[in-house]
Amino acid sequence: MARLYAATGDGIAALTERAGNWTVEWLLRESGAGCLAVDPADPGTVYAGLRESGVRRSTDAGQSWVDCNLPDPGVYSLAVSPADGAVYAGTEPSRLFRSDDRGETWVALDGLLELPSRPTWSFPPRPWTSHVRWIAPSPHDADLILAGIELGGLMRSTDRGDTWEDHRPGAQRDVHCLAWHPQAAGRAYEAAGGGAAWSEDAGATWHPADGGRDRHYTWAVAVDPDDPDRWYVSASTGPFKAHGDGDPQAHIYRRRSGQDWEPVSGGLPDPLPAMPYSLVALDGRLIAGLRNGDVWQTADGGESWQACALTGEPPAQLLALAAAGD
């Protein structure tokens, strides 16, 4: 059995696969459910981030939920550290919080707001604000955290978020998604509004990675858990195509050691009906969740794709996916 949790904008759903069949179970109906995180040490513990109502926690795989009473309600990002179980929440306006007791209490990590670049942070659709778009605690070092500000930069902490290094050299500033490799301790990856980048020194410095793509507005990123040199991004020609109606002008790309990016589209609709908002590694497969609620999977690194037929009440959109146990 494989299980994914999905944030859909109007709730949280579980997508469960048994014998090749996917079933949708709605777990939480809450407006603004835009992000989520699963405790890697306990796949039954799930956190949901709501754009106007804070954080909810379930310890029974989504059957019941409690309000975690986050001090700021506008949640845009969540993460659970695989190294020590700490829970992180990022908000709009940009603030970051940490909980060491599974969301019972929170510490404000306002060292992030002391960075010299803060006066320049601005989210283009609402230029008077910005938000913490992604939080990536290292799976290898509990002290090491990456955080992406949309739009402001890729920040790094080596003390669990108490203090921060400002935007890292070589990284993109319009951060959309960050990932660590689960085996190669120094390897990290970024998908951003101006392109993609990767790090081999635990996020201290970054290398641009854009050769081979004619689309540089990248959104989701995923890495092959067995090969740190094989990773994937979704990309479009720009934000209006990616997030608007009609043809998103989107592709999923693969990058392998010593090679440029290449589109991997065998079996996918051409053109894609919606932007791939999520890419998730699951049981030797790559799962792509599209904005319009479609889910696709590949078991051969993107050479061929198959639709995941969802039974039950399918979501009208997918904003984020998380694998149980990830």
* Distance between CA atoms of residues 290 and 294, nearest Å: 5
If you search the block for the tokens 């939480």, which residue do you land on?
28
Residues of 150-163 as b/e, b for ≥16 C-beta within 10 angstroms? Answer: bbbbbbbbbebbee
- pLDDT tens-digit series, residues 166-213: 999 999 999 999 999 999 999 999 999 999 999 999 999 999 999 999
Sign of CA dihedral 38, 181, 205, 210: negative
pLDDT for 5-49, tens place per residue?
999 999 999 999 988 889 999 999 999 999 999 999 999 999 999
Q: pLDDT by residue (tens digit) across 149-158?
A: 999 999 999 9
pTM over 0.75: yes
Structure tokens at 120: 């320049």
Q: What is the DSSP letter of 120?
A: G
User: Domains in the chain, start-ordered, CATH in brackets?
Assistant: 2-323 (2.130.10.10)
Per-residue pLDDT of 257-290, as tens digits, reads: 989 999 998 999 999 999 999 999 998 999 999 9
